Amino acid sequence: MRDLKQLVKAYDVRGVVPDQWDEDLSRAFGAAFVQVTGATAIVVGHDMRPSSPSLTRAFAEGAAGYGADVVQIGLCSTDQLYYASGAFDLPGAMFTASHNPAEYNGIKLCRAGAAPVGQDTGLAEIRELVESWTGEDDTVTVPARDVRPGTLSERETLRGYADHLLGLVDLAAIRPLKVAVDAGNGMGGHTVPTVFDGLPIELVPMYFELDGTFPNHEANPLDPKNLVDLQAKVREVGADLGLAFDGDADRCFVVDERGEPVSPSAITALVAAREIARAKAAGEAEPTIIHNLITSWTVPEVVRELGGAPVRTRVGHSFIKQEMAVTDAVFGGEHSAHYYFRDFWRADTGMLAALHVLAALGGQPGTLSELTAEYDRYAASGEINSTVADQADRTAAVRAAFAVEGTTVDELDGLTVAGPDWWFNLRASNTEPLLRLNVEAKDPARMAELRDGVLAVVRA
């Protein structure tokens, strides 16, 4: 039998088509989603992958068969689906495998108002229901339900999505900017032209053709090799900055005028500063900013300096969104370039973060590297993966070697050890035999020494 635990991850559904899942299974997920959420109407959208239209159609049929009216918004970015979920106040399903290769596809699910659906908030129940409908020969039989079948309708949301984002950032007075954008043949090629239309921006588009086979490079800007083309283009055309979106365009990475990557932590600090100022102007005394434990120490430092309240969380959008709801935080950022906004239903949108960068840069005469210099205070290793036979054993060995007198230790998410001017975090992957290491220190030499020391123990 198919192992649905391999298909249903912590935050979404993701696997190879048709080996791990297909239209029949997608139809069952649609029915199960409606049954678990109790939805009477939902909104669905999809990315540009070759398998996305048929999987989305099957999911919609399954949902309609269980009594839900289905609003289909067609090709969209993930944050465009979140916009539709928030604007229509409907649960939503986005068909995408984000930055994964072409043979993958998946579903990101949310409740009304873009509230997350993860293992602890309905996804495990959905999986168990689909498992109960799956036979030993992998055939899926969705039981008939004595309800009025739902309707299928279509609705356009791109213009509304763009207008909503542009209403959250003041770009009226920015100076003209030349911006290179690498969409990676993903959904950024769909959203950027509409969002940027009418702004004083000379757009230099790269790989805007929607192509889920990703003919130019992987749509994963977190991997430095996928930024090389954008870096070269920024230097070639003399752009003020470059933007790179992942496959479903919910994450955005930034390159400065020199073609150098700007860390997501620096972008988190920059946007946090702007959102704190906006919240204070509206009367909030101490606006809350969420950051995961792998973002730079710069982020909480900047937040405190500006009179905000930083809150540290585990990695992952469900934890960020939950903490944002509890604290009424105005903004949240992760090291992976996911950016969350209270005014966007606490959902993540790389496009809104990009607009903040454009507003900050366009509102002053300097360069982006000058603007972000104050948010780049430490040397960081980036995330380094190591394949290990025993994650717990290697983590314990690192703890024994580095958790000594004069350090602080916590296990909020993996193992974090901190000294006076350095820290590292070592986390086990939930899906692979990997340990993920992130190191930060006040100077590059100390960072490199610490990085190499930890890796020597991990890989011993």
Residue linked to tokens 């990315």 = 47
d(CA 361, CA 368) in angstroms, rounded, equals 6
Q: pLDDT (tens digit, 9 = 90+) per residue, 53-71?
A: 999 999 999 999 999 999 9
Per-residue confidence (pLDDT) for residue 317, from 0 to 100:
83
Per the DSSP assignment, residues forming a β-bridge with 439 are: 424
Going by pLDDT thresholds of 50, 70 and 90, the confidence category of residue 232 is very high
Going by pLDDT thresholds of 50, 70 and 90, the confidence category of residue 385 is very high
d(CA 298, CA 305) in angstroms, rounded, equals 10
Per-residue confidence (pLDDT) for residue 430, from 0 to 100:
74
Alpha carbon separation from 298 to 52, 227, 267, 272 (Å, rounded): 40, 24, 11, 11
Contact 415, 395 (CB under 8 A): yes
Going by pLDDT thresholds of 50, 70 and 90, the confidence category of residue 2 is confident
Per-residue confidence (pLDDT) for residue 319, from 0 to 100:
86
Per-residue confidence (pLDDT) for residue 342, from 0 to 100:
98
Q: The whole model's pTM is what?
A: 0.95
Going by pLDDT thresholds of 50, 70 and 90, the confidence category of residue 235 is very high
- Residues 6+ away with beta carbon under 8 Å from 405: none
Read off the pLDDT of each residue in 315-343 and give the average, rounded to a whole number. 94
- Strand 288-292 to strand 331-333: parallel, antiparallel, or no bridges (unpaired)? parallel
Per-residue confidence (pLDDT) for residue 10, from 0 to 100:
84
Mean pLDDT of the chain: 96
Residue 1 has pLDDT above 80, yes or no: no
Read off the pLDDT of each residue in 172-189 and give the average, rounded to a whole number. 97
Active site amino acids: 98
Q: pLDDT (tens digit, 9 = 90+) per residue, 78-105?
A: 999 999 999 999 999 999 999 899 999 9
Q: Which of 458, 442, 453 is nearest to 296 (CA)?
A: 442
Which three-class secondary structure state does DSSP give residue 290? Answer: strand
Residue 431 has pLDDT above 80, yes or no: no
Per-residue confidence (pLDDT) for residue 93, from 0 to 100:
98
Tokens at 387, concatenated: 């394949």
Tokens at 151, concatenated: 């309707």
d(CA 429, CA 309) in angstroms, rounded, equals 30
Stretch among 220-229, 333-342, 398-407, 422-431 having the lowest mean pLDDT = 422-431
Read off the pLDDT of each residue in 251-276 and give the average, rounded to a whole number. 98
Read off the pLDDT of each residue in 413-417 and give the average, rounded to a whole number. 97
Going by pLDDT thresholds of 50, 70 and 90, the confidence category of residue 247 is very high
Residue 9 has pLDDT above 80, yes or no: yes
Residue 389 has pLDDT above 80, yes or no: yes
Helices (H) and strands (E) in the chain, counts: 15, 22
Q: pLDDT (tens digit, 9 = 90+) per residue, 264-323?
A: 999 999 999 999 999 999 999 999 999 999 999 999 999 999 999 999 999 988 889 989
Contact 255, 234 (CB under 8 A): yes
Residue 216 has pLDDT above 90, yes or no: yes
